[in-house]
C-alpha cells in the first residue's frame, strides 16, 4: 500500500507543534491577507515568524505548506509582490494557491518552490489535473464534490502528479468553498475568499412576507429547525483504505481555526487509522469514527465520497459543533512536582475524584483526579475554567509534555 501523507492545519505555532506530535506528516499554514482563514488566537503565524514556523515543522520532522490561496484583486497582487521575498526566505515545502496571478508571481519569484493547486479551483476531472500539471503544479487538491471512484479514474489518467483530498472537517454549502454570502451579508466587510468568512451558512433564518413587515415566520425542515444551509462535517476515516487504493497521496483535515484539542485528537485518530489501514486494508476502522465523535462536530457525513450527496448531509438544527467529550485541561510545559502533581491549564471545570481520559501522542487511558492544588499550593476541591492549577492523577502519562485530558466516553447529541 502506498505511503500516504496526513496533512493537518496549523492555525498558530502551538497547534503546528501539537499537530505534528500527534501524527501529522505535514501541516499547512497561512498569514493574514493571503490566506482563507484569519486566525485570532494563540501565537499567530505572521510574515515575521513565518520562517520560524516552517523551520519548526522541519525540526519536528514534518513538511510545511504555505497558503496563498485568496482570489486576488490588484491591490492584493501589489501587496504580495512587495513582500514575496519573505515567503521565499521562509522556504516552505510548497505553496498552495488558486489564483492565476499569484501563480505567476510564485513562478517568477519562487521558481524552485513546488506549487499545490487549491481545492478552490474546483478541480473535478482528469483534464483539469493535466492542465495544472502541464502548467507546473506538483500537486492538485481535488474538489470536495468528487466521489472516490472519480478520484481513482483521475489517478489512472494522470499518474504523474500528486493528488490531495479533504477527509475531515467543516464543509461549505457552496461549490468547494467559493461563496459570496458573507460578502453580501456584511456589505463587503467579511470577505469569504479573503479569509474572513462570517459563516452565514451557519445562521438561523426566518421568513418575512412582503406585505407583513416585521412578522417573522419559522422556516422548518421536517420540524428540525431553521439552519437550512448548514452542511454536516465531513468524516471519511472509515474509508481511508478506499482513498489510498484510489491513489490519494495526501489526506487533508480542515480546521485552522479549530482548537488545540481538535487538532491533536483528530490527528491522533487519523494517524492510527492510516497506519492500521496500511497494515491491513480490510481493517475495521469504526473505532476511529467513535474517537472523532469526541471532538466538536455538527454531525458527520461522507459528503460526495460514496457517490451522490446523502439526503441527511445537512445539520438543520445547530450551527456550532458539539463535542462528544469535554476538553478538560492541557498539561503546561511538561511541568511536574516531585510528589507527582502536574501543572495544567483548565479548559472546563475539573473536580476532585473526577474520572478523566488522558491522551498523549503515544498513550490513551482513563484516570481519576486524586488531588488539586491552586497556584499557592493549597489543596482545593476543583479547578475552574481558565485557572492554572496542579493536579495529581491516579495514573500518569509517560510523556506528559503534550498530554491533554477530556471527559470519558461519548455524549450523544441529536443533530
pTM for the structure as a whole = 0.89
pLDDT band at 180 (very low <50, low <70, confident <90, very high): low
- pLDDT greater than 80 at residue 199: no
Written as nine digits, the cell of 100 is 492565476
Pair 264, 144 in one domain: yes
Residue 415 lies in a domain: no
What percent of the chain lies above the pLDDT cut of 70? 85
Range of the domain at 207: 180-218
119-153, pLDDT tens digit by residue?
A: 999 999 999 999 999 999 999 999 999 999 999 99
How does strand 342-346 pair with strand 5-9? Answer: unpaired
Pair 283, 379 in one domain: no
Pair 172, 194 in one domain: no
Pair 269, 293 in one domain: yes
Q: Which of 179, 366, 348, 166 is nearest to 259 (CA)?
A: 348
Mean pLDDT of 257-273: 96
The confidence score (pLDDT) of residue 325 equals 96
> Which of 27-31, 71-75, 176-180, 364-368 has the least mean pLDDT?
176-180
Residue 390 lies in a domain: yes
The confidence score (pLDDT) of residue 228 equals 62
The confidence score (pLDDT) of residue 334 equals 77
Residue 333 lies in a domain: yes
Mean pLDDT of 217-230: 58
Mean pLDDT of 196-207: 70
Written as nine digits, the cell of 126 is 482528469
Residue 310 lies in a domain: no
The confidence score (pLDDT) of residue 68 equals 94
- pLDDT greater than 60 at residue 223: no
Say which residues have a Cβ less than 8 Å from residue 74's Cβ, sequence separation at least 6: none
Mean pLDDT of 314-339: 83
Residue 223 lies in a domain: no
Pair 190, 80 in one domain: no
Distance separating alpha carbons of residues 333 and 107, to the nearest angstrom = 41
Residue that wins the pLDDT comparison between 88 and 318 = 88
The confidence score (pLDDT) of residue 189 equals 76
Pair 52, 192 in one domain: no
Residue 312 lies in a domain: no
Mean pLDDT score across all residues of the chain: 89
Pair 213, 120 in one domain: no
- Burial (CB < 10 A; 0-12, 13-18, 19+), residue 40, is exposed
Say which residues have a Cβ less than 8 Å from residue 305's Cβ, sequence separation at least 6: 146, 147, 148, 236, 239, 243
Where among 218, 243, 269 does a domain terminate?
Answer: 218
In the chain, how many domains are there?
3
The confidence score (pLDDT) of residue 327 equals 97
Pair 74, 140 in one domain: yes
Return the HEC string of 41-56: CCCCCCCCCHHHHHHH
Written as nine digits, the cell of 269 is 485518530
Mean pLDDT of 248-269: 95
Written as nine digits, the cell of 77 is 497582487
Pair 17, 35 in one domain: yes
Residue 311 lies in a domain: no
> Which of 16-20, 138-142, 190-194, 400-404 has the least mean pLDDT?
190-194
* DSSP letter string, 190-222: S-GGGT----GGGS--EEE-TTSTT-EEE--ST
The confidence score (pLDDT) of residue 256 equals 81
Written as nine digits, the cell of 401 is 509534555
Pair 151, 288 in one domain: yes
Residue 370 sits in a domain whose CATH number is: 2.40.30.10
Say which residues have a Cβ less than 8 Å from residue 308's Cβ, sequence separation at least 6: none
Residue that wins the pLDDT comparison between 170 and 13 = 13
Helices and strands (DSSP H and E) totals, the chain: 10, 20
pLDDT band at 41 (very low <50, low <70, confident <90, very high): low
Amino acid at each position: 500500500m502506498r505511503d500516504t501523507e496526513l496533512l493537518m492545519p496549523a492555525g498558530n505555532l502551538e497547534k503546528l507543534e501539537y499537530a505534528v506530535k500527534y501524527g501529522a506528516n505535514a501541516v499547512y499554514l497561512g498569514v493574514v491577507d493571503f490566506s482563507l482563514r484569519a486566525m485570532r488566537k494563540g501565537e499567530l503565524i505572521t510574515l515575521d515568524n513565518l520562517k520560524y514556523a516552517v523551520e519548526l515543522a522541519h525540526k519536528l520532522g514534518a513538511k510545511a505548506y504555505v497558503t496563498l490561496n485568496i482570489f486576488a484583486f490588484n491591490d492584493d497582487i501589489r501587496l504580495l509582490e512587495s513582500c514575496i521575498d519573505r515567503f521565499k526566505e521562509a522556504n516552505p515545502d510548497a505553496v498552495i494557491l488558486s489564483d492565476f496571478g499569484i501563480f505567476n508571481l510564485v513562478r517568477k519569484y519562487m521558481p524552485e518552490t513546488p506549487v499545490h493547486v487549491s481545492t478552490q479551483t474546483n478541480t473535478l476531472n482528469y483534464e483539469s489535473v493535466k492542465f495544472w500539471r502541464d502548467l507546473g503544479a506538483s500537486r492538485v487538491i481535488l474538489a470536495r464534490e468528487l466521489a472516490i471512484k472519480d478520484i481513482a479514474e483521475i489517478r489512472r489518467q494522470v499518474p504523474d502528479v500528486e493528488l490531495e483530498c479533504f477527509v475531515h472537517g467543516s464543509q461549505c454549502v457552496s461549490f468547494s468553498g467559493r461563496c459570496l454570502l458573507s460578502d453580501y451579508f456584511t456589505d463587503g466587510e467579511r470577505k469569504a475568499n479573503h479569509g474572513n468568512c462570517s459563516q452565514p451558512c451557519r445562521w438561523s433564518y426566518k421568513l418575512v412576507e412582503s406585505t407583513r413587515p416585521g412578522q417573522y415566520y419559522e422556516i422548518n425542515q421536517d420540524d428540525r429547525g431553521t439552519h437550512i444551509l448548514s452542511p454536516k462535517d465531513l468524516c471519511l476515516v472509515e474509508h481511508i483504505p478506499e482513498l489510498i487504493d484510489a491513489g490519494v497521496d495526501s489526506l487533508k483535515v480542515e480546521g485552522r481555526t479549530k482548537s488545540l484539542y481538535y487538532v491533536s485528537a483528530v490527528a491522533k485518530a487519523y494517524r492510527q487509522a492510516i497506519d492500521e489501514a496500511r497494515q491491513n486494508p480490510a481493517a475495521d476502522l469504526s473505532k476511529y469514527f467513535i474517537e472523532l465523535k469526541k471532538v466538536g462536530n455538527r454531525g458527520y457525513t461522507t459528503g460526495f465520497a460514496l457517490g451522490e450527496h446523502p439526503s441527511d448531509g445537512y445539520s438543520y438544527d445547530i450551527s456550532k459543533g458539539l463535542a462528544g467529550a469535554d476538553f478538560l485541561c492541557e498539561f503546561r510545559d511538561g511541568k511536574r512536582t516531585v510528589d507527582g502533581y502536574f501543572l495544567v491549564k483548565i479548559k472546563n471545570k475539573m473536580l476532585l475524584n473526577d474520572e478523566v481520559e488522558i491522551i498523549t501522542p503515544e498513550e490513551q487511558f482513563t484516570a481519576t483526579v486524586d488531588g488539586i492544588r491552586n497556584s499557592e499550593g493549597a489543596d482545593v476541591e476543583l479547578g475552574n475554567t481558565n485557572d492554572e492549577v496542579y493536579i495529581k492523577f491516579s495514573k500518569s502519562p509517560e510523556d506528559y509534555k503534550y498530554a491533554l485530558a477530556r471527559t470519558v466516553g461519548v455524549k450523544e447529541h441529536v443533530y
